[in-house]
């Protein structure tokens, strides 16, 4: 059974395992204050062209989201998100457990717009008695979104302008950041991000690492002086922080991060094309590593014999949208097999 159901089916890029083995008995201090972490931060600052960035390494996405949001909000504030946002639907209420409401706005293709956000903020502060309502205190978007779409430079700029106007932070969840940046449809680069938001994270778990997300505060609009306290309190301070540092150092040496993201996108485009060639339509036009073809029950049964993929959304009696993911670890020959099976449908 070949697995395409998610982008974390395998371990890690072999170079990462190799570096772990090479450095295994090297003694370091704990909690992310070792030289691997320091060097990884330097490498990332260089890659994003933001020498004053404040960078922290966390283990996973829900942890990164919760820690950043809990650190930046005051108790009476909530976070604006697409209703389809990860924090709104797939984190078992971690944000609410930290005390904050997710202020969900209806998404279009997984995205929310500057106009929606602006209306939400304007409407709150125009209230007679706003203190009876949760105050919108930050904006959360993901890049790419849960359904693989990406914001354009223009859309990001407009959203960020609204945030600056209301003096609230813009936070970009980059769990799949590499796959967004490597997309042919993407009109921004990694080095643009510091100018387009206050904080974002570079996803490692889904892009080549065993685990790990690099949270990047891009400026001083919002104090991050005590962020390490937040990490520890949220249970996210890894004793052997070096593991995170070493992985990100490897990913940000010789362009590995984007190289492997490119690989995933290439494989995803091959799959997409195979479905298109069969005249199969998609739930959404995703230019990234997740593809959502709408299949008949019969097609699902046939493909399901040899391949694992996710059921995504019921369409009608006879059709369901499913998800195929590629990743750094997708073998071209696995995609060959899948394409061949699609051709035979």
Q: What is the CB neighbour count within 10 angstroms for residue 334?
A: 16
Footprint of its own copies on residues 49-78 (CB under 8 A)?
59-63, 66-67, 70-71, 74-76, 78
Secondary structure string (H, E, C) spanning 70-87 = HHHCCCCEEEEEECCCHH
Footprint of its own copies on residues 21-40 (CB under 8 A)?
21, 23-31
What mask of x and - would describe binding to its own copies in positions 306 to 325, judged by CB under 8 A? --x--x--------------
Q: How far is Cα 231 from Cα 174, in angstroms, rounded to an integer?
A: 18
The single-letter DSSP state of residue 191 is G
Footprint of its own copies on residues 226-255 (CB under 8 A)?
226, 228-240, 242-243
Question: Smallest distance from the beta carbon of 99 to its own copies, in angstroms?
Answer: 5
Structural tokens at position 85: 């946002």
Choose between 6 and 341: whose C-beta lies nearer to its own copies.
Answer: 6
Footprint of its own copies on residues 176-215 (CB under 8 A)?
205-206, 210-211
Choose between 188 and 206: whose C-beta lies nearer to its own copies.
Answer: 206
Choose between 78 and 169: whose C-beta lies nearer to its own copies.
Answer: 78
Question: Smallest distance from the beta carbon of 72 to its own copies, in angstroms?
Answer: 11
Alpha helix (H) residue ranges in the chain: 14-23, 35-48, 61-72, 86-89, 94-97, 114-126, 153-165, 177-181, 227-233, 242-251, 256-277, 297-304, 332-344
Applying CB under 8 A, the span of 2-10, 49-57, 110-118, 316-324 interacting with its own copies comes to 2-10
Q: What is the CB neighbour count within 10 angstroms for residue 56?
A: 25
Footprint of its own copies on residues 246-305 (CB under 8 A)?
none
């Amino acid at each position: 059974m070949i697995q395409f159901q998610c982008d974390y089916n395998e371990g890690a890029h072999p170079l990462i395992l190799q570096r772990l083995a090479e450095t295994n008995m090297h003694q370091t201090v704990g909690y992310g204050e070792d030289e691997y972490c320091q060097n990884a931060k330097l490498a990332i600052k260089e890659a994003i062209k933001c020498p004053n960035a404040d960078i922290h390494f966390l283990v996973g996405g829900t942890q990164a989201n919760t820690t950043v949001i809990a650190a930046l909000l005051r108790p009476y504030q909530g976070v604006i998100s697409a209703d389809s946002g990860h924090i709104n639907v797939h984190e078992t209420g971690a944000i609410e457990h930290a005390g904050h409401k997710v202020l969900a706005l209806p998404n279009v293709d997984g995205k929310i717009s500057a106009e929606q956000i602006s209306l939400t903020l304007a409407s709150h502060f125009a209230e007679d008695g706003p203190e009876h309502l949760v105050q919108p205190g930050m904006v959360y978007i993901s890049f790419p979104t849960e359904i693989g779409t990406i914001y354009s430079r223009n859309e990001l700029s407009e959203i960020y302008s609204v945030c600056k106007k209301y003096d609230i932070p813009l936070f970009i969840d980059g769990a799949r950041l590499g796959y967004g940046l490597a997309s042919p449809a993407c009109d921004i680069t990694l080095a643009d991000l510091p100018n387009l938001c206050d904080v974002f994270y570079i996803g490692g778990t889904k892009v080549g690492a065993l685990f790990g997300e690099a949270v990047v505060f891009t400026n001083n609009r919002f104090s991050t002086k005590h962020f390490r306290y937040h990490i520890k309190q949220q249970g996210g301070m890894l004793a052997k922080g070096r593991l995170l540092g070493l992985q990100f150092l490897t990913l940000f040496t010789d362009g590995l991060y984007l190289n492997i993201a490119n690989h995933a996108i290439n494989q995803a485009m091959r799959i997409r094309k195979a479905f298109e060639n069969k005249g199969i339509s998609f739930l959404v036009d995703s230019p990234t590593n997740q593809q959502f073809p709408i299949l008949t029950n019969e097609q699902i049964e046939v493909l399901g014999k040899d391949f694992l993929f996710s059921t995504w959304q019921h369409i009608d009696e006879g059709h369901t949208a499913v998800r195929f993911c590629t990743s750094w670890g997708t073998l071209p020959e696995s995609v060959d097999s899948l394409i061949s099976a699609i051709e035979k449908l």
